[in-house]
Structure 1
């Protein structure tokens, strides 16, 4: 089953030994191979920085002022990315996400998502929904017991998520009610002081006698008074021009109206002239009357201006104390009147909260128990699924169990959290007869790599479209274990785009796409080059990985056989 590309394009400029590099990535499994120090891990580091990894000016190429990283990702079908972009008001087109990060020599980081500036925390939140990087020492989820419950829930699928969401709604109602109940159980003295303060505020607002739109109307009136002289001068000048004692505009237009009206019967167009001039004449007469009336009514009142300024200052003081607008102050008044009523009838209110809290606590316990029961069933299925994966990774003697810590039913509400009552941790026994112990304490690096691969094989089907990057997770293995790891990585690539740095020919042979990383010296500077290998070139590279520096006819034949066997294995895996 092929999935869409998540990481589609990557551009790297002045990053470590990379001067200027642009890469296009495909679906399925892509391996990156090459000599040590050629820049394979540098490319993965660049992708990690686009996902919100810790940046440093040490990444900047020697002699440059900054490095620039840019990635084009697809988020089609990835609801987590959609939700986060919407939450942070970041626009997106065509389901694309463009992430750019500039690291400057002075340590400044500039991050953009779809052109919008974001901080590192936001970049990390969104980046983690697009890219999942696993290196030799990067098994964060497995090594963090607090993440184990989320991993179990992820395996539970939609039915568990629905039950969990239902529990979360009740948990939120319970905690809010509990907080309110505790607040209302404070000392009598505190409530008396609170009541006095609220009554003072209510009285203060009532005495203010604030009116809707009062401030806007006062500002308009103040503006008229402050511009009184300018307005009077303009109106006088306009009135004199229209209807002054000599050569006023209206009389002249009246003469024009009389003259043109005398010929309006001769031709239709003269009648139009006459109508327009007559209309203008009567309109100007009317506006002249309005201007005169306005001037008669206007009066400058300095006392009124002082009163307005005092009232506006008073409204400003009220806004500073109770709200940003008169409407907000009135809403605050309604809120404190409700609280005054509750304080004056505190006993009834506390009793009602107690009844409500008891109701939510019972509902929370019922929903929490249902959630716990579902997790117990899902844990058994997860253990069985992981054991099947272990068999294929030659770890059939290893036992992994989901350990549920015992719950104290008498104290269960105080230990409830937003994800339920359960606290779990993955336990493991690596050899028969050994007791189960916490995974984080007993698993070796090689075992962690294979355990993580087993889980990724299972979880990749439910994680959505994510780029999963394996950075030399196959280090220290060989033979049949190496082939088993190659098969697992390919299985993950059936559901997620996979990029894999490897030194194992078995893994390289299983790839859908092969990028060869090399370094050259140009103008006494080391630079990284990347080439997508054709089929014959892939054979030569796999032969080099098998034999080392000297490639013989025999190693070429061995490489061809390994690739042919990989194709057979891929067909089997695809048709399962």
Structure 2
């Protein structure tokens, strides 16, 4: 949920800090007090379009910060992992600054990110729904995903089985397309591959050959220094009054001493070991000296070979291993092109086999989806009836592919062969139309709340914000909307700007937004209301202007009714 919200120098807001809680928080106040400005700030925090007009007059920049808490398994964890953003203790800090020039600086847990990334992460945390805004539920391209979320664990395995085959199908399709290019292109491609393969094969490369050549080159280039060092080392060990003589003398004397004092035995053994090791090393140096030979012609051969290898590296890989692997890859492609017709036939047979299996999986996925579509339809009808839309008809419409497997294969998509769209008819005798074509503001509000009530259980959104979605309704419909907004808040934190006293009464927390002019500047205030103050504010919302004993009594009745409803809401 959104735990803390901080706003500075934003529109008419000088400085504002809000501590928010779970459940339903309602924001009320006079028109123009700044309620929607707070929602605008939240939208910018999660990647909304910014503008220099949001910066408070006379200030350099507007600053918005929000702290969110999420549970393990929340979609935000996977999204942040993909983006390389760490989440500790289930807390996410979003920050956005907007300068006077309109430029934005966005950060997630202190890491500087683009607005696009902020929007991706923000979409998993907050869903803002306003009266006239296009949201996920009003986007027909998202309806299939919403149905799959609703279907839960039964649709997921069917979709996974389909997706696995679909990836295999696509891989075969790509191979066939590549081999089905025109003959002239294939001939040119074959000539190029054959040239590359022959060039690598003629080089007769050996793994680690370049490293060995570089070592040999180093010995030849530094021959004099190497010979001098080895000779000096050998002369220091061998000869009269040299290292081995003195070590042998020490060994002989310590052996005599150890015969007298047994505690010297380990020292005697150590010196003896050292003598034999030095003697062995001396012999090794001697053999290396005898083997040393300076050959200027060999140095030229090495240089030529290294140049050849480096030329191949520039073309085919950073190492001999990569060059050899490249050669193996193009050899397979040469084989495929050379035997193109038979390869295409084999691939087409494989595709036909996969297509049959894929069609079966697609049919199974569609069948499971249609089962859950009917269950979703029944649930939405129940929700709409509770919102006094008894005559409304909802349908999950399938634009599915028809025909045989061969006819359907061009319709295979990543998520199946189904194209799903929500349709609705709000009045008897009217045909079903796409949900996105519904025009009445009051109807949109109720339909959206019906859908939100269901999908809030499945979407995993941390917070949902309703910005005056109750516009255009009153009476019993207003009470029904209040109950639905509260039902959504049972599964997700809900912030709601409302002018309906019924919504204010059923909230878990009531914030009153007001403004004042101080030193010729407008300042917005947010005041959490206690029970007595809530009665006054709800009474004002009922009467519009004058608070009377009757409106106060009505406000208390609404609060009592809300308490009763909340006790029975699951």
Name the structure 2 match of 1:325. 319
Name the structure 2 match of 1:388. 382
Instruction: Determine the C-alpha separation between the residues in 1 that align with 2:244 and 2:58.
Output: 80
Name the structure 1 match of 2:55. 60
Name the structure 2 match of 1:339. 333
Instruction: Determine the C-alpha separation between the residues in 1 that align with 2:229 and 2:521.
Output: 76
* 1:402–1:232 distance in 2 versus 1, CA, 3 Å: same
Instruction: Determine the C-alpha separation between the residues in 2 that align with 1:303 and 1:519.
Output: 92
Instruction: Determine the C-alpha separation between the residues in 2 that align with 1:226 and 1:19.
Output: 75
* 1:148–1:286 distance in 2 versus 1, CA, 3 Å: same
Q: Deviations over 1:257-290 (max 9, x none)?
A: 8999998789899888888788777777776776
Partner secondary structure for residue 515 of structure 2: strand
Q: In the alignment, is residue 103 of structure 1 matched against residue 82 of structure 2?
A: no
Instruction: Determine the C-alpha separation between the residues in 1 that align with 2:267 and 2:12.
Output: 83
Name the structure 2 match of 1:125. 120
* 1:284–1:535 distance in 2 versus 1, CA, 3 Å: farther
Name the structure 1 match of 2:356. 362
Residues 383 and 401 in structure 1, CA contact (< 8 A), matched pair in contact too: yes
Q: In the alignment, is residue 537 of structure 1 matched against residue 517 of structure 2?
A: no
Residues 465 and 495 in structure 1, CA contact (< 8 A), matched pair in contact too: no
* 1:547–1:302 distance in 2 versus 1, CA, 3 Å: farther
Residues 149 and 424 in structure 1, CA contact (< 8 A), matched pair in contact too: yes
Name the structure 2 match of 1:112. 107
Name the structure 1 match of 2:463. 467
Instruction: Determine the C-alpha separation between the residues in 2 that align with 1:195 and 1:47.
Output: 58
Name the structure 1 match of 2:428. 432
Instruction: Determine the C-alpha separation between the residues in 2 that align with 1:74 and 1:520.
Output: 33
Unmatched segments (≥5 aa) in structure 2: none
Q: How far 1:385 moved relative to its partner?
A: 1.5
Q: Deviations over 1:58-97 (max 9, x none)?
A: 3333344444433322331444323223333333222333
Name the structure 1 match of 2:78. 83
Q: In the alignment, is residue 567 of structure 1 matched against residue 568 of structure 2?
A: no
Instruction: Determine the C-alpha separation between the residues in 2 that align with 1:405 and 1:319.
Output: 53
Match among 486, 492, 497 for residue 490 of structure 1: 486
* 1:249–1:475 distance in 2 versus 1, CA, 3 Å: farther
* 1:250–1:570 distance in 2 versus 1, CA, 3 Å: same
Name the structure 2 match of 1:3. none
Unmatched segments (≥5 aa) in structure 1: 1-5
Instruction: Determine the C-alpha separation between the residues in 1 that align with 2:297 and 2:98.
Output: 62
User: Mean alpha-carbon deviation: is it higher for 397-406 or for 564-573?
Assistant: 397-406
User: Mean alpha-carbon deviation: is it higher for 308-317 or for 344-353?
Assistant: 308-317
User: Mean alpha-carbon deviation: is it higher for 81-90 or for 456-465?
Assistant: 81-90
Q: How far 1:552 moved relative to its partner?
A: 4.5
Residues 47 and 122 in structure 2, CA contact (< 8 A), matched pair in contact too: yes
The residue correspondences of 1:415-564 to structure 2 (distance < 5 A) are 415-521=411-517, 524-548=520-544, 550-564=546-560
Q: In the alignment, is residue 179 of structure 1 matched against residue 174 of structure 2?
A: yes
Residues 40 and 517 in structure 1, CA contact (< 8 A), matched pair in contact too: yes
Q: How far 1:548 moved relative to its partner?
A: 4.0
Instruction: Determine the C-alpha separation between the residues in 2 that align with 1:292 and 1:334.
Output: 45
Q: How far 1:184 moved relative to its partner?
A: 2.8
Match among 190, 199, 214 for residue 209 of structure 2: 214
Partner secondary structure for residue 78 of structure 2: helix
* 1:382–1:222 distance in 2 versus 1, CA, 3 Å: same
Q: In the alignment, is residue 93 of structure 1 matched against residue 88 of structure 2?
A: yes
**RMSD, matched Cα:** 3.5
Q: How far 1:197 moved relative to its partner?
A: 2.4
Instruction: Determine the C-alpha separation between the residues in 1 that align with 2:153 and 2:39.
Output: 32
Q: Deviations over 1:203-251 (max 9, x none)?
A: 11111222212233334445555666776777788788x6699998888
